[in-house]
Amino acid sequence: MDVKSLDRHEPKTVENILIISEDSGLLKQVNFGQAQVKRCLIADAHVDSETYDVVLKKKNLDYTSLLKTITADKIDCILFMPSSQNIESSSYEKIEEHLKWEVQKTHQWIRFLIDRLIEKEVRVVFLCCEQKNKIDIFQKILSKYFSFLRAECPEFRISTIRIDRLNKKVLDQVYLEINDENTEPEVQIDTHKRLVPRLTSQPLEPSLVSLNTSGCMVITGGFGGIGLTVLSWFIEKGCSEFIVMGRKLAASTLKHSSLDGPTTIESFIRRQKDNGTTIHYIQGDIQQSHQVERTFEAVRKKLKKSIIRVFHLAGITTESIPLNKMSEDILTRVVRPKLYGAHVLHKITNKDPLGYFCLFSSISSVEGMQGAGLSAYAAANASIDALAELRQQQNKPVQLIHWTDWSGEGMAIEYDHKAFFDAVGLYMVNPAPWPLLFRPGGPKKSRWWYTNVHEAFWQKACSRPTPGPADESYSFSPRIHQ
Ligand SMILES: NC(=O)c1ccc[n+]([C@@H]2O[C@H](COP(=O)([O-])OP(=O)(O)OC[C@H]3O[C@@H](n4cnc5c(N)ncnc54)[C@H](OP(=O)(O)O)[C@@H]3O)[C@@H](O)[C@H]2O)c1
């Protein structure tokens, strides 16, 4: 993120603000000296309605009851605040409960905006309050989902503002931000600085670190389109023990351009065994976290080598679905394998001597790349982006790669994401150079912990209302030349 000074031009005044939250403590603290503030509390118990202008019952979550307040009080800006959750200290059951509730709350809010508020010229802000050095994975997921409104319903002048506390100085800055006609799509405000995301380009250099082939590698989605390309590459380089996770039965047929012809997973594994490579296949759903943990520990006992490398590729996507056709069910279904998969891997390999932990994310979750229709998939990828940030903060090895679509194999071909990427101005990448990106080592050792890989049609990409470049030449990092 870039650092900018807090000096801003004189704003056009927002006069009436509505804040929606289920955190009564936060709600009470938010005050903008210059503006009228109305407070909407989402609550399940009986609350003192004197303190709040509107109380929404958690049980029926009837956002339409807000319409009267929004109209009568001439609300010109709405701040929607998600609640926070520390995923690392939560049980899987709590995570699931929180996921379901936050998805329901946010999804219904977005539907209400689209169905009832689109003509009211209200500015809508997703206000995330994340304490410093505490990554809130859910806020990242939901704000990414929310950010697709910007592409699909520009009428709302949507933005995301991230803050780390609610003191007067920060709130004054938030107030300036919501008054700024030219505000950035995403802004982070700390007490002394304002940060905006920027893409910078870097030349693609081969990794200087030679591949350590000695340990065992875990790869989720290893029998998928890209997964098998990655798995085959490591086998070819001499790695000889793998744990692969996927849902397909071992008797299922694999089809891949690297294979001579269709073969089953079990015969692929047998053939590798004959060549001296052991593949332990964990067949199951990675979102069944308890089960995955148990099976993983059973397999661990059979390993000949320590686990030194993790690749998380398991995930699903959708065809393009506009927000007004999205459902809570689709959103949670797409988020779960990425979210739980990353979380489970983070947890079960905590004590392993890892040199590498790689998360395959998508360009659709990069700020400014929100085209239409991939909101659920982008939100799912935001969950692993957040986990990468968390690992980076904890000084654990991590590399996050935001890929544009791969040509040849994989879900992008299957779900025809080409239209989405054409609209954004990006090309599919040829997968051949991907190993050049491989950067073992912890974040301290590598500036490559966060990488975007695109090939762009620059004029088109630049013409979009994306966050501008940090340097003169608008480019992404790193460019792969086909
Ligand atoms: N293809 C692209 O252009 C592209 C671009 C950007 C990012 N990515 C990312 O790269 C990764 C691999 O993509 P791909 O194109 O290879 O997709 P793919 O061919 O659809 O493979 C996805 C893999 O994930 C596994 N999987 C899905 N849900 C699972 C679950 N709940 N539990 C366990 N395994 C599960 C699948 O296993 P089963 O089939 O056995 O269920 C499959 O092996 C994905 O995370 C994707 O988001 C891909």
The verdict on residue 423 lying in a domain is: yes
* Residue 473: inside a domain: no
187 and 220 together in one domain: no
Task: Look up the pTM and report it.
Answer: 0.90
| Domain-located, residue 470 | no
Q: Which of 402, 390, 9 is nearest to 177 (CA)?
A: 9
Strand duo 450-453 + 426-427: pairing = unpaired
CB atoms within 10 A of CB 209: 14
Q: Are residues 156 and 260 in the same domain?
A: no
pLDDT in the model for residue 4: 45
Which residue, chain included where needed, has tokens 């003191």?
A: 167
Give CA–CA dist 306/301, Å, rounded: 11
What sections of 216-368 are H helices per DSSP?
A: 225-237, 265-274, 289-300, 328-348
Nearest CA to ligand 1 atom 41: 247
Distance in Å, CA 3 to ligand 1 centroid:
36
pLDDT at 432: 60
221 Cα–ligand 1 center, Å:
5
Please tell me the distance between residue 401's alpha carbon and the centre of ligand 1 in angstroms: 14
CB 237 within 8 A of CB 230: no
Give domain status of residue 476, yes or no.
no
User: Domain for residue 207, yes or no?
Assistant: no
Locate 277 and state its tokens: 């490579």
- Mind listing the pLDDT tens digit of every residue in the chain (482 residues)? 444 444 444 545 899 999 999 998 888 888 888 899 999 999 987 776 677 889 999 988 999 989 999 999 999 999 999 888 788 888 999 999 999 999 999 999 999 999 999 888 899 999 999 877 788 899 999 999 999 998 888 888 889 999 988 888 999 999 999 998 877 888 988 877 888 877 666 666 666 567 889 999 999 999 999 999 999 999 999 999 999 999 999 999 999 988 999 999 999 999 999 999 999 999 999 999 999 999 999 999 999 999 999 999 999 999 889 999 999 999 999 999 999 999 999 999 999 999 889 999 998 888 777 777 899 999 999 999 999 989 988 889 888 888 888 878 888 878 877 777 777 777 676 666 666 666 665 445 555 566 666 555 544 444 444 444 433 333 333 333 22
Which residues does a 6 A CB cutoff place in the pocket of ligand 1?
A: 220-221, 223-227, 245-248, 285-287, 313-316, 337, 360, 362, 403, 405-406, 410-412
Residue 382: enclosing H or E segment and its boundaries? helix 375-393
Which domain covers residue 405, as residue numbers? Answer: 216-463
Of 219, 220, 244, 247, the residue with max ligand 1 atoms within 8 A of its CB, to mutate for a pocket test, comes to 247
Q: Are residues 170 and 233 in the same domain?
A: no
3-class DSSP state of 162: strand
The confidence score (pLDDT) of residue 482 equals 25
Q: Are 188 and 237 in the same domain?
A: no
We report the CATH number of the domain holding residue 116 as 3.40.50.720
Residue 76 lies in a domain: yes
* Residue 206 forms part of a structural domain: no
pLDDT the model gives residue 135: 85
**Same domain assignment for residues 188 and 229:** no
